[in-house]
Structure 1
Amino acid sequence: MTPSSSISLVFTVQRREPELVAPAKPTPHEFKFLSNIDDQQTLRTQVPVIQFYRNEPAMRGQDPVRVIRKAIAEALVFYYPFAGRLREGPGRKLVVDCTGEGVLFIEADANVRLEQFGDALQPPFPCLKELLYDVPGSSAVLGCPLLLIQVTRMMCGGFIFTLRMNHAMSDAAGLVQIMSAVGEIARGALVPFVPPMWERELLHPRNPPRLTFSHPEYDEMPNNKGTLIPHDNMYLSDPKEDVRVIFIVNTRAKFKPPLPVEYYGNALAHMVAISSVAKLCNNLVGYALELVKKSKADGKKIISNHPVHPVVDGWTGFERHAPQCIGMRVFYIQSVRSWLDELDGLETISIQADVTEEYMRSLVDLLELKWPPLIMLEKTYLVSDLRCTGFREVDFGWGQPVYGGPALGKVTSFYIPFRNHKGEDGIVEPFYLTGPAMEKLEKEIESMRSLPSMNLRILTPPSKYPLCELMVNLGLHEIKAQRGLFLFWICHV
């Protein structure tokens, strides 16, 4: 089954009443403070994850719901802060009230088989709201369960594991750590292989705080128009405005010594590249994806010197102002033809220098001085690289997942490791476009048919926006557009 048919897949999910799963043994009732990195306004959100598992003959007679529910209770003995609730203390700073109440758990069954999702599982996933049910009153940041987990059995004997986490508690690496602990206990371990460490004071500010680096990702982006652009014109930016690409970096290894592997708090930095709309439109190439790739490889100041995807962000308001059908910031790809042009006159784009321990200490101090800390999302495209986080290694006893990773990105695009039906490994990057932006890109791709160095195939399924597959000889390799969603398929070369 093709990805396009998977998107239109419809099935029914029958759920039992949500229940609270508490730690299997008594745990300390105490208050635990979060670090300044945890306690950022942009991390006060819920993060959804989805994992698809095949039927495993060796687990015949075992119920994944019962196995995982029991393992969660035992894992919460070690990760007991997750069984508590977030409160706001003085100055709106967050604290975990370790109440031991537990996490939300939902048992469900679906009249669908894994093979019906297609050969290549990738976002967007059909019936996601049924597979990860939003229990009324459970999604607030304060006073609500910090984890919501749903296990849905499929008719084929496989199951779908979905999870929603309060991002203030952990980043992707920390989330994988607790998911792995549940998996290890489900497979028979008495304790997690990696014992958890809270120790958020490792990222406490210095006394007195001191700034030794600039952190433009926390600067307010000026709005030259002074008002929000209407929804149907959000993709049009003022040429004089600055737009940004922010990419999220795991900084655990940047400290000396590195943060302990047991640490499961947020340990991320937001590296930023800034350029004006005019430069992005008038120069020959864009910068966003290549900057993400190179800067995460070596963390150094980058001057882009070869063509990549030209990405222009045209979103001028917060998520609540975006069209309901989009669910993500709006940006568009400009001047696909310029990939093949000369590079004379290419200007540089500003980007932060190396991420070091001193950079992170400066960041923590900034967050102490600038409270409440808020990364401005106007005119910004966020990218997070999840290739090495380990979602695909989480095993509850049924083997590795067919797909493991983000279920949906409301604010951030993700680099997700992906294996297609041919066994080829690559990266999928989902993000959303408005209807006008989609039409613009389709026209650009259509105009490339005559370019000799491109091998272009256009496939048109029965939908408003045709599925476009672009094979680029140097290799980027596949762009798929379906119903407002783009999936970049980048082969490992």
Structure 2
Amino acid sequence: MLGLKSWWCMLENMLLCLQFVLYVTLTCIMHDGMKVTRLRCGGFVFGIQVCHNLMDAPGVTQFLQAVGELAGGMEAPSVRPVWARELLDARDPPCPSYQHPEYELAADAANDRLRPGAELVHRAFLFGPKELSSLRDQLPPRMRLRCSRFLLLSAFAWRCRTAALGYAPGDEVRFMFVVNARGKRGRPLPEGFYGNALTFGVARTTAGELCSGPLGRAVELIVAARARVAADNYAQSVADALVLLGRPRFTTARTYLVTDLTKANLHNVDLGWGLPVYGGPATTTLATFHIPAAGGGITVPMCLPPRAMVRFTANVRAGLSEASSHRGRSSGVESAVLSRM
């Protein structure tokens, strides 16, 4: 039999988990952000909209997994929810130890190619193993084995997108990506933390250098940005900088923002009817995602003005077809091919 202390611990755990589920569920309902659509085939679409101030992608996945486990009869979720927001508080006084270009305004930001209210076209691009292999062949031999799919595809899409938007050669362009602060040194977050635990990495160069240089150069820029974000106490520095800067919004002008969802496990959430056919964002805006696809591929949704979308599609096709037809040629030829995009 369980003693009084054990019963109390079990009750406390159940109440905390129930509070977690109710808190997020009520927040979704109040923001008109939860909807179930039944399909004629017998399937259904379960969609939620959550304010990013509440949680990030791992937090959303944890919440949905908890809902599925409780619906399946478990007394408590397998991962106990943890609040612990105080671990990400700024210091007193705030003392940033790094630069944070993600909150620096871009020069002449008002003249960006993407403007609020402009007509935009949505399209998804699937990069399977064959396409990824073709892109990898464009890298110098020393980089091919060490370059992740995220780095490879990000660098390629950044170049195609920048060329499609038609920026002037001297315009600064940025690639910004989301980095999960869980598991980092400094202030480690406990398992079950479901709040926002993300920072941004930023790679910067000019449009001319990005589009005329080889693909490997774009990869190197992103690798260097990732190394800066991985430094000790970077997340703490972000919190300090946000307080001093008055909590500004991150910059978006001439910026390609990507979130990698290939490890978010949204596609493995079981709400009681088995694994989903698709698990991920319903659409994209000026930011985009890397979404896992069947067969080891990655889907990249893109949102661009109509003419830019036509150019982006052509750039992707040209880059892939040229890479396949010129395998084994020198990096100089690769550079010339890519500079025509």
Q: Fold-level match, TM-score > 0.5? A: yes
Of 7, 24, 27, the residue aligned with 1:82 is: 24
Of 157, 163, 186, the residue aligned with 2:71 is: 186
Q: Which amino acid aligns with 1:371?
A: G
After superposition, the Cα gap between the structure-2 partners of 1:256 and 1:445, relative to the gap in structure 1 and judged at 3 Å, is: closer
CA drift of 1:287 comes to 5.8
Q: Which amino acid aligns with 1:373?
A: P
CA drift of 1:441 comes to 4.5
Distance in 2 (alpha carbons) for counterparts of 1:416 and 1:391: 10
Partner of 2:194: 264
Maintained 8 Å contact 1:448/1:454: no
Q: Please give the root-mean-square deviation of Cα atoms over the aligned residues, in Å.
A: 3.2
Of 235, 238, 261, the residue aligned with 2:168 is: 238
Distance in 1 (alpha carbons) for counterparts of 2:79 and 2:189: 14
Aligned: 1:430 with 2:321: no
Partner of 1:139: none
* TM-score (ref. length: structure 1): 0.49
Deviations 1:350-385 (A, max 9, x none): x66242441111111001111032211011000000
Distance in 1 (alpha carbons) for counterparts of 2:240 and 2:228: 18
After superposition, the Cα gap between the structure-2 partners of 1:281 and 1:360, relative to the gap in structure 1 and judged at 3 Å, is: same
Q: Which amino acid aligns with 1:236?
A: G
Name which structure has the greater RCO, CA cutoff 8 Å, separation 6+: 2
CA drift of 1:153 comes to 2.0
Partner of 2:10: none
Partner of 1:216: 101
Partner of 1:379: 254
SS in 2 for 1:405: coil
Maintained 8 Å contact 2:170/2:207: yes
CA drift of 1:409 comes to 1.3
Maintained 8 Å contact 2:174/2:256: yes
Maintained 8 Å contact 1:217/1:272: yes
SS in 2 for 1:353: helix
Distance in 1 (alpha carbons) for counterparts of 2:298 and 2:328: 17
Maintained 8 Å contact 1:76/1:83: no
SS in 2 for 1:403: coil
Partner of 2:156: none
Maintained 8 Å contact 1:453/1:473: no
Structure with bigger helix share is 2
Q: Which amino acid aligns with 1:221?
A: A
Residues 389-468 of structure 1 aligned to structure 2 (within 5 Å): 389-419=264-294, 424-441=295-312, 453-454=324-325
CA drift of 1:282 comes to 2.9
Maintained 8 Å contact 2:17/2:81: no
Aligned: 1:171 with 2:56: yes
After superposition, the Cα gap between the structure-2 partners of 1:443 and 1:217, relative to the gap in structure 1 and judged at 3 Å, is: closer
* TM-score (ref. length: structure 2): 0.69
Partner of 1:195: 80
Work out the percentage of aligned pairs sharing the same amino acid: 35
Distance in 1 (alpha carbons) for counterparts of 2:249 and 2:318: 41
After superposition, the Cα gap between the structure-2 partners of 1:416 and 1:365, relative to the gap in structure 1 and judged at 3 Å, is: same
